[in-house]
Amino acid sequence: MMLHIPEVLSQGELDRVRALIEAGPWVDGNETSGFQSALAKDNLQLAEGSAPALEAGALIAAAVGRHPLFVAGALPASVFPPMFNRYGPGKKFDSHVDNAIRINRTGQRLRADLSATLFLSAPDDYEGGELTVDDTFGVHQVKLAAGDLILYPSSSLHRVEPIIRGQRTSAILWIQSLVRDDAKRTLLFDMDMAIQNAGARLGQDDPAVISLTGGYHNLLRMWAEL
Ligand code: NI
């Protein structure tokens, strides 16, 4: 499932993140790549562990953690500290699948079930630079408003199209989900949305809503890995 999550950052938070990361330090994006992605990647990255990366990353991690749609769609067990990418004219990231396992600076390991791109540049600030994701339902091209996020399975082939004009800056997150299987997680999300819809119309104390809510939690209990 691909899920568009609007307004993850408020305008104030977006301004703060942009101000923090603007001056860098920006380094070659290949410093953190595996072998295959080093061939594919051609961009800049905010130096991992630098003060701006840590402060802006903490702000973003807090923002996604309190966004109900992100929590419902990702069912996050843990979120890898956000990384920041920047693409200028001619820069791109060819087709690749994200690494399965991420190891953070403290040695903590995370299985990447979901990848997320948080757009920090407004769509008008650049031409090209779409995030293109291939999934079982076809090819999706994504370019969102600044502050919006797209969530997609880390197992999907994806790329960033070459930038024709301007500059595209984004934050990238990897999420280990309580439910690693995308089909099961998607089913839970659809059920969650339907239950909320039914609850709003019938009332939270309607017997059918109570029964469906129980079904949701019992499926989550069956499938969740802590
Ligand atoms: Ni990627």
Burial of 57 (0-12, 13-18, 19+ CB in 10 A): buried
Q: Is 222 helix (H, G, I), strand (E, B) or coil?
A: helix
User: Percent of the chain, pLDDT > 90?
Assistant: 85
Q: Which domains does the chain show, CATH number per domain?
A: 3-177 (2.60.120.620), 182-223 (4.10.860)
Average per-residue pLDDT for the chain: 94
> Separation of 66 CA from ligand 1 center, angstroms?
24
pTM score, whole prediction: 0.93
> Separation of 159 CA from ligand 1 center, angstroms?
7
**Structure confidence at residue 40 as a pLDDT band (50, 70, 90):** confident
pLDDT at 165: 96
168: amino acid identity, one letter:
R
- Is residue 130 a contact partner of residue 161, using CB atoms and an 8 Å limit? yes
Give 3-state DSSP helix, strand, coil % of the chain, rounded to 5: 35, 30, 30
* Cα dihedral sign, 92-98-103-104: positive
> Separation of 20 CA from ligand 1 center, angstroms?
23
**Structure confidence at residue 36 as a pLDDT band (50, 70, 90):** low
Average pLDDT in the 77-98 region?
A: 93
**Structure confidence at residue 9 as a pLDDT band (50, 70, 90):** very high
> Separation of 208 CA from ligand 1 center, angstroms?
41
Instruction: Name every residue whose Cβ is closer than 8 Å to that of residue 82 and which is 6 or more positions away in sequence.
Output: 53, 56, 57, 60, 61, 118, 171, 172, 173
Average pLDDT in the 193-216 region?
A: 97
